[in-house]
Structure 1
Amino acid sequence: MSDIYIYMLFILTGLAITDLVVGVSNDAVNFLNSAIGSKAINFKTIMIIASLGVALGALSSQGMMEVARKGIFNPGEFYFDEVMTIFMAVMITDVLLLDFFNSMGLPTSTTVSIVFELLGAAVCVSLIKINASDTETFLNLGQYIATDTALTIILGILLSVLIAFTIGALVQFLSRLMLTFDFRKRPAFYAGVFGGLSLTSLFYFIILKGFKGADLYFEPLNQALNNLQTMDVTVLITVATLIWTVVSLVYVYVLKWDIYKLIIILGTFGLAMAFAGNDLVNFIGVPIGAYQAWEYAESTGLMASEISMERLAAKLPADKILLIVAGLIMIATLWLSSKAQAVVKTSVDLARQDSGTERFQPNAISRYLVRYSLMAAEGIKSITPESTQEYISARFDKPIAPKVVSRHADKPAFDYVRASVNLMVASVLISIATSYKLPLSTTYVTFMVAMGTSLADRAWGTESAVYRIAGVLNVIGGWFFTAFSAFTAAALFAYILHIGGMYAVVALVTLAIVLLIRSFLKHKKSQQIQKETDQLKKAESKTIQGIIEESSSNVATVFKRSKRIYKNTLDGLIAQDLAILKASRKESKKLSVEIDDLRNNIFFFIKNLDEKNLGASKFYIDALGNLQDISQSLDYISRASNTHINNNHKSLKFTQIKDLKEIILSIHEIFNDAQEIFTKHEFDQLEEIILQKRELIVLVDQKIDKQVKRTKDDEESPKNTTLYFSILLETRDLMNETIQIVEQYYREYDATRSTQGQ
């Protein structure tokens, strides 16, 4: 047999390792979000618990490896060379697709990815075979593809989204009715009962489903697990409920320990184990299947195009060493991947209890859903007895928060009760689906349960609902986009491999390597930029003097970034460089968003002020207003310049460029001096900036007069003239707004200094 297939096996091994890395980066959200969001335990402990779960789960994943070999297509209908084409196309697609979603910070389903990639590649190769046959037609596709399995998976995906969301919301609602937000002050009996039910569900999930088929290298333990798994389910659950309820009551009453924390620890362990046990096939199932196919093909001595792959339909145990190595790679990725943390952040942000900066912008669908949901809520309220409404509202009253809370406080996104319900419900749903052999995505279930519990907890108030729903719709849309893109890309790659052979393999693998390296460098660069970029900070001081000192760093930052945006925009306009203009436009938008975030924080800022220092709020609000005016002027200049060049209008004339460069130098000097003064808090030197500004305004007025004369005498381009006047007028506004904030700080500094001198 040709050495090409040995090379392909080596390539598949490399792709498998890469797939493990990008897959864990994506699926870490499944078992980390509840523990991280609740801050029940520190991050290092969470990672240790999750790592143990992943290690044990990897050992129990042996039976799942058959899905890649025979779950989607019928291997007996294909020859060895065709199966290798399918497997190679699937792995290249999977690596690229998952890395794309990870880079976007969005959780997607690795189960859906691998299933639709196998389906797409198998359909493509099947159609090639049918086309080459004189007797077969498109109607024969069913003999190549396991259509019943594919249809069941699609229905399972659709139903899991709805069921997980609904059950999560219902259980959270009932749990909150029983425990309230002030659950620490409820009788310990309630915590014990809640703990008993939660631990029973986790016990069933971990012992009966998580360790099913696992070989723990200790025969007495394997035998004990087997005995438990063969018991009648009803009897086992009844006995387990009684035992765990007693254990929980002892835990709470006698030991006086926190039962919620125990639930979160075991839940994190259980879901991490389920992830490794159920989803490891998504990453290494295909390469293992390819290796088993190659082993059989080598033993036959026939040509690759003559070896039927019926052997893959048999039960073929996976090498335990491979499973252990895969588990170790997953654990290493869990600890080292920054992309995993970005995906977790999306899920936690969408489920958090308090309001704040929203990651997603509302859309028409989210607005309509919120509007009609409010109407439906009003309808339900009108038919609900008032006493019932009052009772329910009382159960959802939140404890009074301290009046003054540090903005730097690392607050949990939600409490222990919600984290416990997230883990418990997700565990139960996955257990039930597994027991009925229904395909279910752990990503879909855990994410939608988290969304359902956050809705039931009234985390989606009118202040945030439209943003949260938009975020959920974005994530769900990404899931279905995954299915479509996985099917299409795998089919395309399979066709290219069929046509190009080894040349196509080398080309596609090279493309994958280049794109992965590019993605890695881009992600690393974005992280570095995020570290280096001067982020605007929310105010926490409670006096005018404190606000002057604290907010001056924000003003210095705005001046620094404004200087860069203004210069880059006009340099790009002069050079007609659209790339520079787009980058400046993006930076201008980012500055506007950050200033808007500061303005959105005014509510919390005023809440945190002491009564005697409420006067500081006016100073801070005025300062933010001036900063916003600066950002709006920059936004207008960058947008107008970008549009002008993008529409291929006439470039600026030499005299205009010369005048603009003179203005750029003057503005650069003013911003630079102001930035240094605000950085060093040398406010007594602000008077010099005011004088510089007056000189610049005179200069701009002179340039306006010159352009008026040019327009009258020889200007021929209306677009050019409009843009140039717009830039000059907006530059004058920009300087006026800059000096307003300089004068404001100078006045307050002078007044504060005078007061201190008395």
Structure 2
Amino acid sequence: METLYLCIVIFLFVLAVFDLMVGVSNDAVNFLQSAVGAKAASFKTVLFIAGTGIFIGAALSNGMMDIARHGIYQPQHFYFAEIMCILLAVMLTDVVLLDVFNTMGMPTSTTVSMVFELLGGTFALALIKVYGSDTLDLGDLINTDKALSVIMAIFVSVAIAFFFGMLVQWLARIVFTFNYKKRMKYSIGLFGGIAATSIIYFMLIKGLKDSSFMTADNKHWIQENTGMLICCFFVFFTILMQVLHWCKVNVFKVVVLLGTFALALAFAGNDLVNFIGIPLAGYSSFVDFTANGAGTGPDGFLMSSLLGPAKTPWYFLFGAGAIMVYALYTSKKAHNVIKTSVDLARQDEGEENFGSTPMARTLVRFSRTLSTGISRVMPESSKRWIDTRFRKDEAIIADGAAFDLVRASVNLVLAGLLIALGTSLKLPLSTTYVTFMVAMGTSLADRAWGRDSAVFRITGVLSVIGGWFITAGAAFTICFFVAMVIHFGGTFAIIALIGLAIFSLIRSQVTYKKRKAKEKGNETIKQLMQSNDNAEILELLRKHTREELVKVLAFTEENFERTATAFLHENLRGLRRAMGSVKFEKQLVKQMKRTGTLAMCRLDNNTVLEKGLYYYQGNDFASELVYSVGRLCEPCLEHIDNNFRPLDTIQKGEFADVTEGITYLLQNCRHKIENNDYEGMENEVRKANELNGQLSHLKREELQRIQSQSGSIKVSMVYLTMVQEAQNVVTYTINLIKVSRKFQMPE
């Protein structure tokens, strides 16, 4: 029996390695977003500074793992076997759940996930124990205070961080404006002093409060002399920053990099429990059981020892720090999560990653109404003066950066202050929530959310916030059922769940790689938006257009054939899949149009006049292809879903023949655009004319059947719609390849 539990402990540590890697992938956005978004230094430099902060924070952490030992459950009422069941369920759930969020590029809270997984697993075992006991109730087994405080912290941190991010950034922009280099002769020293003092205070209060050298005497001395320390730091750093400014050093970069280091340090020092707390609790339980529980067995040995605090051995801390740094440098998913936050906060218009939702549209309308009301009562002179402080055309933004150094500095300083304040007030604020919402508030204050992008940005923010709540619910529910399965299924269930977790992680990696391969086309548009050479921009736009049109034709080919085949064989599932694909493709086409319009704006006037019409015509024909497939699929789906009479044998044979020809035409046109080779295009034009003639003949034949009343009206209606939309597909396809040739070929 001991061998089984030893294997479980070893597996917990193996999962901890994965958890550290996926956890860092998720939380990297907390401390990298501002430095990466403002390009305060090269990406390698930012990673080095953050990695140093992570390693030092992990190494200096004293490893107090109280939340994993007795923060949620009351261990004195649980037996060793039950504790191991809970801990294994938590780790299996945590690794998979965080990996899913990372794959989607959505930042979430590792603290919330761990707390609610512990709560779900404990609740499952507690129900079983209460059912079989006359003396215990749920209040004896579960400590719900911690979970409730985390739920409250979600609301508190989201609202406070967003509001103060908006307010402080507005004030900072009033002081410095977008052309900050002209207005920081003496104010920069004061700003740098406040910022550096805030960051140091944050490091002492939050980042190093549980470090090994922070004895009770040291903490007491810092608490007693906090005011004096802040004053000394403020005077010192104000003078230092002013001197650095006179020495031509960019103080904003210093503040951003110092803030990055501080947040990384605090993350590693305080969030380490989220990743290795569970396996260390399991290890401690196993050591206690093997030493004292031999006579009672795993189902009779109570785990009262977990009530006491435990210090983590230094080699666990060093190992965890090394793994976290490795994950930070190598994880592509970490870069994906950072991209989500940076894109939502960027100053410029660009490709939006989120669509539009009713909630976002309502919020935008409300904000516009409120803004209009305030504008009416504000004096014109005040409005003009404020507008002079927010001239975005004067913004000093590094090449390829999403926003400037002023905003990056405010993001880091304010996030650090709010987290330190929450810690001092014993509020369990989440670093993820605070840093993300501060960044969203500062971007709103900077007028980065214009009328053309606000609804998409708000949708993105709401999606991320919704993901945080989903994390809590999913963590609780999944862990509840996993703990139940392990408890009742025993060894067989453990092996099956471990295999399922491994399969899920592997499948996630494969899916992620496939998705990234599909997104390679985005690299072309990124290069295009960064280029200033008109000839290069035109070539990149031609390449990007080919990539997008090939995707549309591939979609049309696949879903036209799927719809026709599914309808002829009365396959309802196939029609529903096609309809779902159409809805998704419509969003992609809208996004393609927005991106292409932004790209066209970078061409000179002559090129736009010469090639612009062909480009927009190509986009319109691509859109019509997608909508034609939708108009074809919708009546077919309704017909089959209502169990109406199918097509007769003659109709099926006629349409099956023409479907094969249309699919072949789509395939040939796709290959020509993909290879940028339009030689022999006359063959496709001739084939299209033949297909249209054939479809017109089918239409006349069906009208004659209707006239003679030889068939069902419902069947005839859907059949005529199919023929008409098939004609549209042929026409739009051949028009698309014609305008594509005109756009791609040099004059």
Give yes or no for TM over 0.5.
Answer: yes
Letter in 1 for 2:103: S
Q: Is the 8 A contact 1:60 1:210 kept in 2?
A: no
Letter in 1 for 2:313: D
Q: 2:183 matched to 1:182?
A: no
Q: 1:291 — aligned with what?
A: 283
Letter in 2 for 1:242: V
Inter-CA distance 378–691: structure 2 relative to 1 (3 Å threshold): same
Q: 1:245 — aligned with what?
A: 238
Structure 2: how far apart are the matches of 1:521 and 1:284? 26
Q: CA deviation at 1:178?
A: 0.7
Q: 2:276 matched to 1:309?
A: no
Q: 2:324 matched to 1:335?
A: no
Q: CA deviation at 1:578?
A: 5.8
Letter in 2 for 1:170: L
Q: CA deviation at 1:208?
A: 4.4
Structure 1 length-normalised TM: 0.88
Q: CA deviation at 1:179?
A: 0.8
Structure 2: how far apart are the matches of 1:587 and 1:364? 22
Q: Is the 8 A contact 1:182 1:399 kept in 2?
A: no
Instruction: Provide the secondary structure at the position in 1 that maps to 2:392.
Output: coil
Q: 2:392 matched to 1:398?
A: yes
Query: What are the Cα deviations for residues 549-603 of structure 1, in whole angstroms up to 9, with x where unaligned?
Result: 6656655664455444434443444455566655655555555444423432465
Structure 2: how far apart are the matches of 1:461 and 1:721? 49
Structure 2: how far apart are the matches of 1:677 and 1:5? 62
Q: 2:457 matched to 1:458?
A: no
Instruction: Provide the secondary structure at the position in 1 that maps to 2:393.
Output: coil
Q: 2:198 matched to 1:204?
A: no
Letter in 1 for 2:238: T
Q: Is the 8 A contact 1:60 1:212 kept in 2?
A: no
Consecutive unaligned residues in structure 2, runs of 5 or more: none
Query: 1:421-460 alignment to 2 at 5 Å?
Result: 421-460=410-449
Q: CA deviation at 1:173?
A: 1.0
Q: CA deviation at 1:233?
A: 0.8
Instruction: Provide the secondary structure at the position in 2 that maps to 1:500.
Output: helix
Query: What are the Cα deviations for residues 397-418 of structure 1, in whole angstroms up to 9, with x where unaligned?
Result: 112589xx9xxx9632211111
Q: 1:132 — aligned with what?
A: 132
Between 477-486 and 631-640, report the one with greater CA deviation.
Answer: 631-640
Structure 2: how far apart are the matches of 1:186 and 1:747? 51
Between 221-230 and 115-124, report the one with greater CA deviation.
Answer: 221-230
Q: CA deviation at 1:431?
A: 1.6
Q: 2:350 matched to 1:356?
A: yes
Q: 1:54 — aligned with what?
A: 54
Q: 2:270 matched to 1:273?
A: no
Letter in 1 for 2:268: A
Letter in 1 for 2:593: R
Inter-CA distance 619–96: structure 2 relative to 1 (3 Å threshold): closer
Instruction: Provide the secondary structure at the position in 1 that maps to 2:519.
Output: helix
Inter-CA distance 116–269: structure 2 relative to 1 (3 Å threshold): same
Instruction: Provide the secondary structure at the position in 1 that maps to 2:272.
Output: helix
Q: How many residues align?
A: 739
Letter in 2 for 1:334: L
Letter in 2 for 1:204: Y
Between 192-201 and 501-510, report the one with greater CA deviation.
Answer: 501-510
Inter-CA distance 125–668: structure 2 relative to 1 (3 Å threshold): closer
Inter-CA distance 433–744: structure 2 relative to 1 (3 Å threshold): closer
Q: 2:719 — aligned with what?
A: 724
Instruction: Provide the secondary structure at the position in 1 that maps to 2:717.
Output: helix
Letter in 2 for 1:115: V
Query: 1:536-555 alignment to 2 at 5 Å?
Result: 555=549
Q: CA deviation at 1:372?
A: 1.8
Q: Is the 8 A contact 2:346 2:443 kept in 1?
A: yes
Q: 2:689 matched to 1:694?
A: yes
Q: CA deviation at 1:396?
A: 1.0
Query: 1:513-592 alignment to 2 at 5 Å?
Result: 513-531=502-520, 555=549, 558-559=552-553, 561-574=555-568, 584-585=578-579, 588-589=582-583, 591-592=585-586
Q: CA deviation at 1:712?
A: 6.1
Inter-CA distance 523–615: structure 2 relative to 1 (3 Å threshold): closer
Between 574-583 and 424-433, report the one with greater CA deviation.
Answer: 574-583
Q: 1:282 — aligned with what?
A: 274
Q: 2:607 matched to 1:610?
A: no
Q: Is the 8 A contact 2:69 2:75 kept in 1?
A: yes
* Structure 1 residue corresponding to 2:229, chosen from 213, 224, 236: 236
* Structure 2 residue corresponding to 1:734, chosen from 708, 724, 729: 729
Q: 1:110 — aligned with what?
A: 110
Q: 2:97 — aligned with what?
A: 97
Inter-CA distance 716–310: structure 2 relative to 1 (3 Å threshold): same
Letter in 1 for 2:266: A
Between 648-657 and 261-270, report the one with greater CA deviation.
Answer: 648-657
Q: Is the 8 A contact 2:179 2:395 kept in 1?
A: no
Letter in 1 for 2:127: L
Between 184-193 and 469-478, report the one with greater CA deviation.
Answer: 184-193
Q: CA deviation at 1:281?
A: 0.5
Q: 1:756 — aligned with what?
A: none
Q: 1:496 — aligned with what?
A: 485
Inter-CA distance 396–288: structure 2 relative to 1 (3 Å threshold): same
Q: 1:155 — aligned with what?
A: 152
Q: CA RMSD in A?
A: 3.5
Structure 2: how far apart are the matches of 1:575 and 1:394? 66
Letter in 2 for 1:240: F
Q: CA deviation at 1:150?
A: 3.3
Q: Is the 8 A contact 2:90 2:479 kept in 1?
A: yes
Query: What are the Cα deviations for residues 27-79 of structure 1, in whole angstroms up to 9, with x where unaligned?
Result: 12111211221122222222222211211121233344122112223222323
Inter-CA distance 607–89: structure 2 relative to 1 (3 Å threshold): closer
Q: Is the 8 A contact 1:28 1:344 kept in 2?
A: yes
Q: 1:264 — aligned with what?
A: 256
Q: Is the 8 A contact 2:165 2:414 kept in 1?
A: yes
Q: 1:75 — aligned with what?
A: 75
Q: 2:622 — aligned with what?
A: 627
Instruction: Provide the secondary structure at the position in 2 that maps to 1:306.
Output: coil
Letter in 2 for 1:260: F
Inter-CA distance 99–305: structure 2 relative to 1 (3 Å threshold): same
Query: What are the Cα deviations for residues 245-292 of structure 1, in whole angstroms up to 9, with x where unaligned?
Result: 1111111112x0111112221222211121111111011101101111
Q: CA deviation at 1:421?
A: 1.0
Structure 1: how far apart are the matches of 2:521 and 2:181? 42
Structure 2: how far apart are the matches of 1:703 and 1:48? 68
Letter in 1 for 2:519: Q
Between 242-251 and 264-273, report the one with greater CA deviation.
Answer: 264-273
Inter-CA distance 534–46: structure 2 relative to 1 (3 Å threshold): closer
Inter-CA distance 410–694: structure 2 relative to 1 (3 Å threshold): farther
Q: 2:700 — aligned with what?
A: 705
Structure 2: how far apart are the matches of 1:646 and 1:342? 40
Inter-CA distance 695–504: structure 2 relative to 1 (3 Å threshold): closer
Indicate the percent of aligned positions where both proteins have the same amino acid.
38
Consecutive unaligned residues in structure 1, runs of 5 or more: 754-758
Inter-CA distance 325–718: structure 2 relative to 1 (3 Å threshold): farther
Instruction: Provide the secondary structure at the position in 2 that maps to 1:26.
Output: helix
Letter in 2 for 1:160: S
Q: CA deviation at 1:369?
A: 1.9
Letter in 1 for 2:106: L
Query: What are the Cα deviations for residues 156-175 of structure 1, in whole angstroms up to 9, with x where unaligned?
Result: 23211111111111111111
Letter in 1 for 2:226: V
Structure 2 length-normalised TM: 0.89
Q: Is the 8 A contact 2:192 2:252 kept in 1?
A: yes
Query: What are the Cα deviations for residues 694-742 of structure 1, in whole angstroms up to 9, with x where unaligned?
Result: 2221122223334445566796555543333222211212222233345
Letter in 2 for 1:302: G
Between 53-62 and 147-156, report the one with greater CA deviation.
Answer: 147-156
